[in-house]
Amino acid sequence: MRPGTDVHDYNFKVKAAQKFIKSGDKVKFTIRFKGREFQNHDQANELMGRIKDDMLSTSKIEQEPKLEGRQYSLIFTSN
Q: Closest Cα to residue 30, out of 71, 70, 60, 69?
A: 71
Mean pLDDT, the chain, integer: 93
- Rounded Cα–Cα distance for residues 34 and 53 (Å): 25
Contacts for 46-52: CB closer than 8 Å, 24+ residues apart: 47/1, 47/3, 47/5, 47/10, 48/72, 48/74, 50/10, 51/14
* Per-residue pLDDT at 76: 97
Write the pLDDT tens digit of every residue in 26-52: 999 999 999 988 887 889 999 999 999
Residue 54 sits in which domain range? 7-78
In a domain, 1, yes or no: no
Q: pTM for this one?
A: 0.89
Is residue 63 within 8 Å of residue 74, measured between CB atoms?
A: yes
Q: What is the CATH number of the domain that holds 14?
A: 3.30.110.10
In a domain, 2, yes or no: no
